[in-house]
Each structure stands twice: as structure tokens, then as C-alpha cells.
Amino acid sequence: MTVTKRTRVRLLGAGSAALGSLALGACGSAAVPGARPAGAPATEPAAATPPPADVRPPLPLRPSPPPPACTPQGIAVSMAEPDAAMGLRAARIELRNCGSRPYLLNGYPSLRVLDASRQPFDVEIVRGTRQVKDAGPKPLTIRPGRKAAFVIVWRNTVTDANTVAVAGKYLEVRPAPGRPVVVVPAIGPIDLGTTGRMEETAWQLPRG
């Protein structure tokens, strides 16, 4: 074939078109940075980590007092934690017959409030009270394994700044006339303030 100027122009045009097609194809197949490939699952954003919970250690429990020892007379005497309301305190004193013979009670026990050195405070003990129920004195027979109780009542009132407030650490209990005394550790102080006064009920059998 004889190549003329017109033929050469056509060949050059066709070659340029072919080169342009190759260039476009190459550009179309190039990977775009950050682009997700076709068919690939979309990436979910990472879930935010919740802040740690406010976990506080539990409050320490108050240790239980040891059980009272059985005396040679065959009784064990203990004091319960006082119940306080509006400045009035009331605490239950319990006697358990841990011996092998019946134990006789009648009326009100004799009491003294003692300090940490087991020395007595100058406190008036009033037999009978209107603050809690008092069944009054009567003879009781406590069989082995059974219990009796009375209640002491007082107010934590300070009226004289020059007087040392009473904060008893022990309660001395004589269950009945002629019986040996038992010294009972107080659960919490017997805080009489400056009143110098404590009331008590008579011995009574527990309900039920």
C-alpha cells in the first residue's frame, strides 16, 4: 500500500486513540488510597468503652462480742446494744441459766455503773420506769437453759459544763439479794451525761 499524507494522518489518529484507551484503562484500574474494595463489608466504628463502675469496698462489720462466760453460780449475763431515740437510751440485760439447777429471781436487780477501771460512778439507780413497759416485781424461777431479762433506761443529757459526763464501760449486776455480782461489759458507753440517773425494770421472762 502506498502511504500518502492522508493515510499517515489516519494511522497517527488511530494510534493516538489506542494509546488514550490504554491510558484510561490503566487509570481506571489503579487503587484509590482509602477506598473500600467492591464487595468488602463496611467497617463498624469501635464501641466506646464504658467508664469503670464506682465499686466501693463494703463497710466493715462491727465484730460481735464474745459470748458471756458461765459463772460458778451457773448464770451468764450479757448486755444488748442500746436502742437510742430522741436522747433516750434503753438496753436489755439478759441472764441465761447455764447451770444444772433452777435459779431464783424476784424483783429488781442491784446495779452500779463502772468506769474503765471498774470504779463506780455516783449514779442514782431508780427502780421502776415509765419510759418502757415494766411488769413490776414478782418471783421467777429460771430453769436450766432458760432466760430472764430486765431493761435499763437513761438519757444522755449534759446540763453542767463543770461536771464530768458519765460514760460507763461496765455494768455491775447483783441479780438478787445475797447473790454474787456479775460485771458485764457495756455495748457502747452507758452515757448518762450529767444526769447522774438511770432507771430499770424488774426481771421478766422473755415473750414467747
Each residue's pLDDT expressed in tens, for the chain with a length of 208 residues = 444 444 443 433 444 444 344 343 444 444 444 545 555 555 555 555 655 555 556 655 556 678 899 999 999 999 999 998 777 999 999 999 999 999 999 999 999 999 999 999 999 999 999 999 999 999 999 999 999 999 999 999 998 888 889 999 999 999 999 999 999 999 989 999 999 999 999 999 987 6
For residue 125, which phi and psi values (nearest 5 degrees)? -100, 120
**How buried is residue 132: exposed, middle or buried, by Cβ count under 10 Å (0-12/13-18/19+)?**
middle
- The whole-number pLDDT of residue 109 equals 98
- The whole-number pLDDT of residue 37 equals 53
Q: Specify whether the CB–CB gap between 85 and 74 falls below 8 A.
A: no
In a 3-state reduction of DSSP, which class is residue 9? helix
Beta-bridge partners for 91: 152
Grid cell, residue 129, equals 420506769
